[in-house]
Amino acid sequence: MKKRLYVIVLVAVIGSLVSFPVAAQDAGANPGGTTGGAAQTTTPPGEQALQIPFVNFSIRQPENNQEVAFSLQLLLMLAVLSIAPSIIILMTSFLRIAIVLDFVKRALSLQQVPPNQVLMGIALFLTVFIMWPVISDVYDNAFVPFSNGDIGIEQAYQNFEKPVRLFMYRQMEADPANIRLFMRMSNLPKPNNLSDVPTRVLIPAFILHELTVAFKIGILLYIPFIIIDMVVASTLMSMGMIMLPPIMISMPFKLILFVLVDGWGLLTQQLVASFGGF
């Protein structure tokens, strides 16, 4: 039914577009009378016929260095937009939250509930909640001054990079082993503070740190549910019910335990608190 409705609407739109040039042609051929006994259709006063604009993209040689710099900035902006999803996933709290939520789903032996789209949506909005101070700092000190023309693009990039670097560094401040690892692989001296760590070193170190922390949290989440699986499996074997899959019996018990202890609330609270500042 919906498909037929879409086809009817599409045919009506195409017919209306085709009728405009035909009406305009008839009006130009018969400016003062009618043809074949049919009344001439004219555009009412105050209304204009449909006009489709013509879009033209031209390529020419740059006239000065400023135009070359503008073209390079445009290419750089397009490159940043293309890797924006990777920036959101790997340089924020999204990576840790998404992995932990997937661990919870697997520990509860759930296959389809909740769907992966729901888990990723939860991770996205928790990321916005956790990263909101960083987002506000970037907006106030980078986007607003740049849009007002108070600073240039280089200064705007520095103001954007500073709070993001500070967030990543604070997560690894207690355990900077990954920073030392990548500094050593880059043949750079041992850093004394954040300013001594290049961004190209800080980002992979942060990604590796987040993967490690997320897997540690996942292991701790697995322990109580593994105990339930072992108890159920040993009980079924002692009763001689070897052919019955233990997961069919253990999954309801794991769900009951998770709901009774307010699992989602505790998990969210500890995830947010693990990033500090809350």
Per DSSP, helices labelled H in 91-176 are 94-107, 116-138, 144-147, 153-172
Query: Is residue 10 domain-resident?
Result: no
Query: Is residue 85 domain-resident?
Result: no
Query: Is residue 104 domain-resident?
Result: yes
Query: Is residue 31 domain-resident?
Result: no
Comparing CA positions, the residue from 111, 112, 160, 115 lying closest to residue 135 is 160
Q: How many domains, the chain?
A: 1
Note the pLDDT of residue 215.
92
Query: Is residue 40 domain-resident?
Result: no
Cβ burial, residue 257 (10 Å; 0-12/13-18/19+):
middle
Query: Is residue 123 domain-resident?
Result: yes
For each successive 10 residues of the chain (278 residues), what is the average pLDDT? 47 45 42 44 56 65 66 74 80 90 86 84 90 88 82 82 88 83 85 81 90 90 86 81 76 86 87 78
Q: Which range of residues forms the domain containing residue 151?
A: 96-271
5-25 burial, b if ≥16 CB within 10 A, otherwise e? eeeeeeeeeeeeeeeeeeeee
Query: Is residue 24 domain-resident?
Result: no
Note the pLDDT of residue 211.
92
Note the pLDDT of residue 7.
44
**pTM of the entire structure?**
0.68
Query: Is residue 80 domain-resident?
Result: no
Note the pLDDT of residue 64.
65
Note the pLDDT of residue 275.
86
